[in-house]
Amino acid sequence: MNGPNVWITGAGSGIGLAVAERIATSTSRVIVSGRRLEPLAELAARHANVRALSLDVTDRDAVRQAVAEIGLIDIAILCAGTHRPTPASNFDAQSVRNLIDTNLMGIVNCVEALLPPMLERGTGQLVLVGSVAGYRGLPTAAGYCASKAAVIALAEALRLDLADTGVDVRLVSPGFVDTPLTQENSFPMPDLITAEKAAQHILKGLAKSGFEIAFPARFAFAMRCLRLLPDRLYFPLMRKVTGC
């Protein structure tokens, strides 16, 4: 990761902050953005090569302006995301819209602004952070799962479209990571890892070739198996395991 200009969205906390902390120890120029400026400014104060930028990725025009202002971006790690339960017993369209706006459209807005200069240069890397929750629908998480499933499909389609352009597309699919968002969960979280460990998985994966970086390995494998399970087995199994 030495040298390139790296932009990290959602860098105020969680995975984005942990990735930024690790990259900031290299010689890279790092731009960190998020809705809250205070944690970004604290990060920038610790590292001379880090620049903080207040940005709401759901604001399409603001994203365009930010990308133009930043200038050269070699690698964009699009971590901005949110979560809240959307159970069928209290289903709310606005809650789902908020999840889609941040988790999906936030990435879409960034990709739209980043692609033209990357295609013109014939180089660049887009790192889209999804979730293993996008593999299949999970109880009480209809909105979140839908948003992350869309990110997976988006990354796959972009990977195909950009295969011969020099622009590399990667998908990051974390399992449960200890962040301010997951700390609000009231249910057991199998194979929970720290944000620092998640950042280690991401940067190790980006140093290699390939498409998807899924972790932790055991939980990601289990979720992949669920994706392959026939519906007639999946639904009874999930009801038994989750008690829903």
Structure tokens that stand for 209 in this block: 């070739």
Q: Which of 128, 125, 107 is nearest to 162 (CA)?
A: 125
User: Residues 144, 176, 215, 219: which is the catalytic one?
Assistant: 144
Are 222 and 175 a contacting pair, CB within 8 Å?
Answer: no
In the residue annotation, 144 being an active-site residue is answered as yes
Q: What is the spatial distance between Cα 86 and Cα 3, in angstroms, rounded to a whole number?
A: 42
Q: What is the spatial distance between Cα 67 and Cα 61, in angstroms, rounded to a whole number?
A: 10
**Cα–Cα–Cα angle for 126, 129, 134, rounded to 5 degrees:** 130
Which residues are known to be catalytic? 144
